[in-house]
Chain A
């Protein structure tokens, strides 16, 4: 299980990093999304893996064997915040595309030397 999950985290992170390094803003947004999955899982995994005993207490539940709640609490807020960040980046992407006419991360197509705000590239 550990090996599977760690390889999965690695694959998510690699795909995310590769996308973040791409020239188009939409790719970068998707990449950030993937990278945040990887990081959330990574932080979650810091509490070690436990199958079938969530940190929900009740009669007959042994407090020693339940999963570590601290990384879970951290990741829960991280999930919500990364949603907000994705939304923010998405809107910045759209605004930049509206202003510069290009969806390149530098705000202009690589062939043109100078950014030309307000003018779409042919």
Chain B
């Protein structure tokens, strides 16, 4: 297989496995574990095969265009550092899978766990293998989200939910900062490509945006790596199942932050700000973590704080700005991953077999589980930095760096002392862990009688402890080449020479090591008993400063503050919301106008004044104001007045050279008025005579005055703006081109229609889709329509008609209604074919003269509407079946196919063409493919508008049927 394929396979396999795992039934423990293990091993094999390529020469990479317009490529990139981390992620992952198979209880839904787990592995690999900054952030956030799911796996447990939420809040907030930081970094360099960013360290450090970018990126890294003061999420994440803790807090999640700092070390490190932020954070975290770890009574809590402390150590090393420190940081990352994973697993075994993790209750387990105890002791010794184990080597390197790092900073002078103190603390809590758990008198009243775990559960621990010993004994044969490859991928030409030997002679680091070991033992002997007696388990001096409680309080305050603001400033009522919207628009427009010195009345071009036009608008304004005044109590007259206003705007279009608009407007006006009239029947009666309380009336008056002022200002503003634009000379935009090319290119003389069906046909396609959707929505809403109780009665007019008919001889109820408007009714029926003809005419001439699909479609609907009005729905539907939904579908289909037709000729979608056809008798007929598209528009417009009208009109029918059936039932009841 080519290396690129191996790389892609390694990155994709975990995600595929994750998708497969969730499909398994929830009791399929072996299948899920087998799947996860297989995926991990396959992925690991891919990475291992790439070892020679990754370590020798440049990175292996495979890439794909992702967002080319933003210069973002999806790149997988494997160099020495990425190789080392990938192997850690996959190797320890495979061991965790095996361990989890035996750790998880039978009733747990294990496939879900492995689904999250594999997704997490995929996200981690994504971070490690990213060759692009944005891609890295995406995977980074993915790890936050998936770790939330993993920590909260036992979701019926409140502490698991809280821990998951806190981890997500802190790490995802850091991730957001990281995104902004990465975007800044990309802007500084001019590329999001990792190789280019890493090569531009000098440019980045010289840039004014360096500091903000650094702070934001470090905010991401430090939150993820649980650095002080963001460390509070990590101990709470211990609510996760132990295999997950073992994985998240040894090799992966928290190491993502460390990885980020190592990865960007060449680009970002080497400045004062880096030194202070990273160094101080690392130092504080190391001390606080170690100090807190001493006082934990919970095994996992102790390991959690110890993890924090070790992460602080690694961060501190990275802050020191020395190449050798970077080597030490990478080395300690590997060592910590191995011994911490095995310790978590051992803690899990103890919890599993003894039933408790409380150090005060555990005792003398050596007798019950000597094998596990030995493994745990070796791992804990590695953690404490005992010689001949891997922890010793990296700790020696750290101490050497602490001594060598000469500088004038206060931090530098304190460093050797603080490093020794932290090491002594490490020895102390390691010793406490071993002594409390495995030695002392035999345990009393434990939940279970402790015994060795099943064989398979110990294998992962054995493997990890073996690695600890192997690295500790023969570092040059084991970790040597890998460490060299990984470090030189970061350091390049600045690669220092170093010696991984166990014995460096008697020197300062050795003395510090010995002092730390001895100090730790002495401290335990002196204080051990008092630490165990510490009732609350909080560390001395710091038990009042509970970060978790502060965090919870801050979150509660945030929620409470948001509620308060909502209660004070928010409203569920529509009117205030709309008022604010209008005011905001008004304010924004005024501010822009004032700041740009907009002159509304700069004299410019004007068209000759015509008194008739002015008179027309006097009528228009009167209609609008009248409608506004009448709309509350006199809906019918308000509807008519709005129609009048529409008519005025229609005439304005006609006057000002827009015949197409005029035609469409008047037809639409007809339909709108009919619909408004149809709806009036369902509205409640409103009577001016109903008295309102005085308070209410004053409030309403005040509201009306405010609204009138807002409305007046909006009107004046719009009028001023319109005047300002109209009196300025026209801008030479795209219009000229359309006018000139309409005939030569599209064969149409009516430029507006050519624009709609040819030049901008794709827009029109979107618009007719909207129309169809609205039609269907109206239909769907009305299917469920139930009138309000007070509108269910028959209208007063119908009742009085029927009463009249009943009182006369020879008349049946309904006769008066049938007699009304007899003459117009017959005329309308006769008109039907002529209106159809008019629609056809409008449609056919549309390309050259005012008309077109929209107008023709609405004309057709008007023809139907007139029949409904004249004869009633029942009469029409006995003779004519309109199926509006089919019309909508057919119209859309015709329009889409008309566009696709151009594909047959190898042209882009919706390319129109035209020709002349010599028809017998008629002569030359222009034929444009756009005509077919226009046909689609027409059919769809008919369908949508007819659907709305018919659906509204049918409501009265349905009601009559329903009440009719009810009346029959009632009369039947009387007879019975």
Chain A residues proximal to chain B, CB less than 8 Å: 1-24, 26-27, 29-31, 33-34, 37-38, 40-42, 44-58, 63-64, 66-70, 72-73, 75-77, 79-81, 83-88, 90-95, 97-99, 101-103, 105-106, 110-111, 120
Q: Which of B620, B760, B771 contacts A80 (CB 8 A)?
A: B771
A95 proximity list for chain B (CB < 8 A): 781-782, 784-785
Q: Which of A4, A13, A66 contacts B739 (CB 8 A)?
A: A66
Interface residue? B459 (CB, 8 A)? no
Q: Contact: B774 with A88, CB < 8 Å? A: yes
Q: Contact: A56 with B750, CB < 8 Å? A: yes
Q: Contact: B655 with A51, CB < 8 Å? A: yes
Q: Which of A4, A48, A66, A103 contacts B617 (CB 8 A)?
A: A4
A7 proximity list for chain B (CB < 8 A): 617, 621, 719
Q: Tell me the minimal C-beta distance from B340 to chain A in angstroms.
A: 57
Interface residue? B956 (CB, 8 A)? no
Q: Contact: A3 with B723, CB < 8 Å? A: yes
Q: Contact: A11 with B781, CB < 8 Å? A: no
Docked CA distance A27–B791 (Å): 19
Given A11-B620, A94-B785, do A73 and B948 touch, yes or no (CB 8 Å)? no
A48 proximity list for chain B (CB < 8 A): 605, 726, 730
Q: Contact: B770 with A81, CB < 8 Å? A: yes
Most buried by A among B609, B717, B725, B941: B725
Given A27-B632, A92-B781, do A70 and B735 touch, yes or no (CB 8 Å)? yes
Q: Would you give 12 A-B contacts (Cβ < 8 Å), ordered by A? A: A2-B723, A5-B617, A10-B722, A11-B621, A12-B649, A33-B642, A45-B722, A48-B730, A56-B749, A87-B774, A101-B790, A103-B683
A9 proximity list for chain B (CB < 8 A): 718-719, 722
B624 proximity list for chain A (CB < 8 A): 11-12, 14-16, 34
B-side interface residues, number (CB < 8 Å): 120
Docked CA distance A17–B649 (Å): 17
Q: Contact: B646 with A37, CB < 8 Å? A: yes
Q: Contact: A44 with B653, CB < 8 Å? A: yes
B971 proximity list for chain A (CB < 8 A): none
Q: Tell me the minimal C-beta distance from A19 to chain B in angstroms.
A: 5
Interface residue? B276 (CB, 8 A)? no
Interface residue? B631 (CB, 8 A)? yes
A34 proximity list for chain B (CB < 8 A): 624, 627-628, 642, 645
Q: Contact: B679 with A98, CB < 8 Å? A: no
Q: Contact: B652 with A41, CB < 8 Å? A: yes
Interface residue? B755 (CB, 8 A)? yes
Closest to A107 in B: B574
Docked CA distance A99–B785 (Å): 8
Q: Which of B573, B711, B727 contacts A2 (CB 8 A)?
A: B727
Q: Contact: B657 with A73, CB < 8 Å? A: no
A49 proximity list for chain B (CB < 8 A): 607, 656, 726
Query: CB-defined interface of B567-591 with A at 8 Å, one 1/0 digit per residue?
Result: 0000011110011001000000000
Q: Which of B627, B716, B854, B951 contacts A10 (CB 8 A)?
A: B716
Closest to B764 in A: A77
Most buried by A among B575, B613, B743: B575
Interface residue? B445 (CB, 8 A)? no
Q: Contact: B751 with A66, CB < 8 Å? A: yes
Docked CA distance A21–B788 (Å): 24
Q: Tell me the minimal C-beta distance from A78 to chain B in angstroms.
A: 9
Q: Contact: A55 with B652, CB < 8 Å? A: no
Within 8 A of A (CB), among B729-788: 730, 733-736, 738-740, 742-743, 749-752, 755-756, 760, 763-764, 767, 770-771, 774-775, 777-778, 781-782, 784-788
Most buried by A among B572, B675, B743: B675
Q: Contact: A67 with B658, CB < 8 Å? A: yes
Q: Contact: A72 with B742, CB < 8 Å? A: no
B660 proximity list for chain A (CB < 8 A): 54, 72, 76
Interface residue? B848 (CB, 8 A)? yes
A6 proximity list for chain B (CB < 8 A): 719-720, 722-723, 726
Given A1-B609, A6-B722, A10-B719, do A21 and B582 touch, yes or no (CB 8 Å)? yes
Known pairs A6-B723, A66-B657, A83-B668 / 17 extra A-B pairs, C-beta < 8 Å:
A4-B609, A8-B617, A8-B621, A10-B719, A10-B722, A17-B715, A19-B627, A21-B711, A22-B632, A48-B605, A54-B660, A58-B749, A76-B854, A80-B767, A92-B781, A105-B573, A106-B572
Q: Tell me the minimal C-beta distance from B19 to chain A in angstroms.
A: 40
Q: Which of B574, B739, B743 contacts A69 (CB 8 A)?
A: B739
Q: Tell me the minimal C-beta distance from A24 to chain B in angstroms.
A: 6
Q: Contact: A13 with B715, CB < 8 Å? A: yes
Q: Which of B608, B671, B682 contacts A83 (CB 8 A)?
A: B671
Q: Tell me the minimal C-beta distance from A41 to chain B in angstroms.
A: 6
Q: Which of B743, B952, B955 contacts A57 (CB 8 A)?
A: B743
B730 proximity list for chain A (CB < 8 A): 47-48, 68
A53 proximity list for chain B (CB < 8 A): 657
B659 proximity list for chain A (CB < 8 A): 54, 56
Q: Contact: A94 with B679, CB < 8 Å? A: yes
Q: Contact: A80 with B668, CB < 8 Å? A: yes
A22 proximity list for chain B (CB < 8 A): 631-632, 707
Given A56-B751, A87-B774, do A10 and B718 touch, yes or no (CB 8 Å)? yes
Q: Contact: A21 with B683, CB < 8 Å? A: no
A79 proximity list for chain B (CB < 8 A): 661, 664-665, 668
Closest to A25 in B: B683
Interface residue? B606 (CB, 8 A)? yes
Query: CB-defined interface of B915-957 with A at 8 Å, one 1/0 digit per residue?
Result: 0000000000000000000000000010011001001100100
Closest to B586 in A: A17
Given A6-B720, A57-B743, A95-B782, do A72 and B752 touch, yes or no (CB 8 Å)? yes
Given A21-B578, A66-B739, do A26 and B635 touch, yes or no (CB 8 Å)? yes
Interface residue? B974 (CB, 8 A)? no
B574 proximity list for chain A (CB < 8 A): 105-106
Q: Contact: A4 with B614, CB < 8 Å? A: yes
Given A56-B848, A79-B665, A88-B777, do A21 and B575 touch, yes or no (CB 8 Å)? yes
Docked CA distance A105–B490 (Å): 64
Q: Tell me the minimal C-beta distance from A2 to chain B in angstroms.
A: 4
B735 proximity list for chain A (CB < 8 A): 47, 68-70
Q: Tell me the minimal C-beta distance from A71 to chain B in angstroms.
A: 9
Q: Which of B631, B638, B711, B955 contacts A14 (CB 8 A)?
A: B711
